[in-house]
Chain A
Amino acid sequence: MEKLMAALKAQIVEQLNLQEVKPEDIGDDQPLFKDGLGLDSIDALEIIVLLQQHYGIRIANPEQGPEIFHSVRTIAEFITAHQTAK
């Protein structure tokens, strides 16, 4: 889980071109959207593609985004659950 979360942080910083944010600056439970890291709905769509590219996970309904993408930990949990389910 720790390893997965570290990888996710690096991927998020890279994919979203988060200038002046280092992967280690992102807390495991820090909210990613709004007042947390300040991401928005466009970033949510970027993360959906990121999960597809790196983890082979498809999210067909963007409405699921806010729940799954709450924090790095919730994304990691979703990935783990989804990959074991396969």
Chain B
Amino acid sequence: MYIYIQGTGCVSPQETAAGNALPATVSPWEGARLKAWEPDYKQWIDVKLIRRMSRVIKMGVAAAKLSLQEAGVEKPDAIITGTAYGCLDDTGVFLSKMINQQEEMLTPTAFIQSTHNTVAGQIALMLGCHGYNNTFVHKAFSFESALLDSMMILREGRLRSILTGAMDELTNHSFNILSRFDIYKKVPVTHEQLLKSDTHGTVAGEGAACFVLGTERGPNTKARLSGLTTLYKPAGKAEISADIDAFMAAHNCSQSEVSLFINGRNGDASGDEWYEHVENTIMAGKPVATFKHLCGEYPTAASFGMWMGCRILAEQQVAAAAMFKGEVPEKFEKILIYNQYKQTHHSLILLSVC
């Protein structure tokens, strides 16, 4: 059974929410923090609902609406989301008030909106969708788990379309705290410098990307989700190589069939060695595209990578800003996406044109 990507939607630090495509020009950013470019949410969300929504909820709902629109699906059979941090802003608001007000005179809104399943629940509420509804919250496997659950359910053959996606927001608190863990660049870099900086650390990002997956082609279907796998804490680069080999073999895909290799290079010297290893071995000679200089690093950033891969297959072209090395191929048939987060969570996604 094939799993088709019937629609995609993305809110990111680039203007991806405007035309559902990666603009030719990159929105510039400075420092170590990329903020999402936010559309006018009122085009999708009732003002009565919007008043309680934090950014991550709005971004998630917007990406969901964009993908459903493209798929021509009003109400999916299921909604599955992934988020590593959940609704951080509301969590921070409730936590701060609880501490500052010594647990007195607290109000419910931020607490209610802080639960990790808020985005999936809100989408269900807005669409009146009574179907299967789930939320995965496993760090940099959150998106991949949501995708895997969707694929397994579709293969059972009872459901026809599933809205699946991932969303994570960066707040002032989370950026401050994550910065103290020494994971971001100390010296400012631009999007052009980031991937060649060869120094420690990366830049922080955020965003939401949603996909309508189905067992049949839709009116705008251009790509298939051919495969997905995850690898937790590989012992070393040899293990990831073996894993990629096994993954490709399992999906009857030879190296020569891969038109483009998209990977999660983020400018952190030691983390990028993993990608370099794969670029120089299993994917030697393949053109390489990257995306973290466009969306920043966050645990569910692979969803942006998959969105970009889908757009490349649909449009049969790649934005110059996304190319990292090699010649732009004439045709895009299969795209392999390899992402890893803090060298702990590794994932592979295989997309095919259709």
Chain A residues with a Cβ under 8 A of chain B: 15-20, 38, 42, 45-46, 49, 52-53
Contact = CB atoms under 8 A, between A and B. Distances in A.
Interface stretch (B46-54, B61-69, B130-138, B271-279): B46-54
Contact of B51 (A17, A49, A52): A17
B105 A16 contact: no
B197 to A, nearest CB: 41
A46 B107 contact: yes
Nearest to A40: B48
B107 A19 contact: no
B48 A16 contact: no
A52 B104 CA distance: 10
B107 A49 contact: yes
A52 B109 CA distance: 16
A38 B108 contact: no
B105 A19 contact: no
Nearest to A43: B109
Contact of A49 (B52, B105, B112): B105
B53 to A, nearest CB: 10
A42 B47 contact: no
A49 B157 CA distance: 49
B108 A17 contact: no
A46 B108 contact: yes
Given A17-B51, A19-B51, A42 B105 contact: no
B108 A45 contact: yes
Contacts of B48: 38
Given A19-B51, A45-B108, A49-B107, 10 more contacts: A18-B51, A19-B47, A19-B50, A20-B47, A38-B48, A45-B107, A46-B107, A46-B109, A49-B105, A52-B105
Contacts of B50: 19
Contacts of B47: 19-20
* A-B CB proximity, top 7 nearest: A17-B51, A49-B107, A45-B108, A46-B107, A19-B51, A38-B48, A20-B47
Nearest to B104: A52
B106 interface: yes
Nearest to A16: B51
A19 to B, nearest CB: 5
By CB atoms of chain A within 10 A, which of B47, B48, B50, B105 has the most?
A: B48
A42 B109 contact: yes
Interface in B37-64: 47-48, 50-52
A67 B76 CA distance: 39
